[in-house]
Amino acid sequence: MLICRGGNVYLKALEIQGFKSFPDKTVLNFGEDITAIVGPNGSGKSNISDAIRWVMGEQSAKGLRGAKMEDVIFGGTAKRAQVGFAQVTLVIDNTEHIFPTMEESEVAVTRRYYRSGESEYYINRQSVRLKDVTELFMDTGMGKEGYSIIGQGKIDEILSAKSGERREIFEEAAGISKFRHRKEEAERKLERTEENLVRINDKISELELQVDPLRDQAEKARKYLVLRDELRLLEISVWLENLDGLKAGAQKLRADFAAAEAARDEARTALDALYAEGERFGQRMQEKDMEAERIRAEAAALEGRVKEQESAVAVLESTIAHNEENIARARTELEETDSRSGGLHRQAEEQERRIAEIDREAGELRAALDELLSRAREAAEQAGGAQSQAEALRGQEAIAVAAAADL
């Protein structure tokens, strides 16, 4: 396959990725004059010319030697998976401004196609339409239908083609295909305009038949608009009156709410005070309970000591009574034995001294017993007073708790 400099058109590079037999990104740089791509059959030489034709806007899968456009994407091999898209970029020298609308010295045309059927076109990395790509190559001799790409058997096909098909080739070479396409597009627009005009006239005829009913409807619509405006004014008046009432109600509610909050704060303060007072009463009652318990313990101890003293007094009284009996018996014996010797007299004197000592001890024990009994009575009276005070504190606490619950 030969790619040559045609007129003022010069191909600088071709970048292929995922197109047919080129799964990896492949860049081919072309020099001036004539560049030859040589290779055995089946090596993919024709795929390069197909890539050039495809990037210039070829839409026929049959023209690219395939059944459908998806066939241009690398389908994979036994050792390599298929790819998801095909992309070809054609770089053309524009130093001689073969593209009048482009100021750049190089023009890069890119086409990308996905397996989902979506196509993308770019000129110098700017997204464009297929129409823009087609118009770019018009009158340059590089159109997809022009003479720039001639495959095997193409010359015979041109010679055997119809006159209209040969005319398109000659117009492309002469640089007037752009004007022919513009003329055809203008004629198509004119036909669409005429069709639209016919439809508009038909629509006008239909509307003329509807003028009288529409006039009546318009009059009714005007009346409706007037009544609607009056209704809207009345509704606005009603809403304003309702709004004033709502504002007054809202102010009253705010005042009531503020008063309720103040009452709540006062009640909360009173409740806190009652809780504090209740805690103080509870603490005092606990202290009184502890004091009463202590007094009960002391009273129990005093009662125990009193019982012990009473037992001791009973023992002493028994001893005194026994001693008195002994004294009486001794006196009797002394009276009976007055005639005995002086030793017995001395023994009687000693017995008298013992009796006097026992009498003295008995008197002391009686005094101590009286004092113990007096202290026991005082302790019992104190215990009764503390218990009465504790009962009074419990009653006050119950009253405070009831008042707090009511608040």
How many other β-carbons are positioned within 10 Å of the β-carbon of residue 14?
Answer: 19
195-222 pLDDT tens trace? 888 888 888 877 777 777 878 888 888 8
Model confidence at 85, in pLDDT bands (50, 70, 90)?
very high
Pair 148, 289 in one domain: no
AA identity, residue 142: M
Do the domain assignments include residue 137? Answer: yes
Do the domain assignments include residue 78? Answer: yes
Domain boundary residue, one of 143, 161, 179: 161
At 174 the pLDDT is 54
Do the domain assignments include residue 211? Answer: no
Do the domain assignments include residue 239? Answer: no
Domain span including residue 64: 2-161
- Choose from 108-122, 173-187, 216-230, 375-389 the range with maximum mean pLDDT: 108-122
Domain boundary residue, one of 161, 191, 215: 161
Q: Assign residue 293 the CATH number of its domain.
A: 1.10.287.1490
The secondary structure element, H or E, covering residue 88 is strand 85-93
At 5 the pLDDT is 42
Domain count of the chain?
A: 2
Do the domain assignments include residue 289? Answer: yes
Pair 143, 291 in one domain: no
Contact call for residues 99 and 91 (beta carbons, < 8 A)? no
Pair 140, 7 in one domain: yes
152-197 pLDDT tens trace? 555 565 566 676 666 666 565 555 666 677 777 888 888 889 888 8
Q: Assign residue 52 the CATH number of its domain.
A: 3.40.50.300
Pair 155, 286 in one domain: no
Domain boundary residue, one of 99, 126, 161: 161
- pTM for this model (two decimals): 0.41
The secondary structure element, H or E, covering residue 127 is strand 126-128
Do the domain assignments include residue 275? Answer: no
Contact call for residues 49 and 30 (beta carbons, < 8 A)? no
Do the domain assignments include residue 77? Answer: yes
Question: Rounded mean pLDDT of the chain?
Answer: 77
* Per-residue pLDDT at 146 exceeds 50: no
How far, in Å, CA of 85 to CA of 113, rounded?
5
Own/partner pairs for 385-394, CB < 8 Å, 24+ apart?
Answer: 386/288, 386/291, 386/292, 386/295, 387/292, 389/288, 390/285, 390/288, 390/289, 390/292, 393/281, 393/284, 393/285, 393/288, 394/285
Pair 287, 157 in one domain: no
Pair 288, 147 in one domain: no
CA torsion angle 290 294 300 304 (round to 10): 160
* Per-residue pLDDT at 401 exceeds 60: no
Contact call for residues 407 and 268 (beta carbons, < 8 A)? no
How far, in Å, CA of 199 to CA of 207, rounded?
12
Do the domain assignments include residue 55? Answer: yes
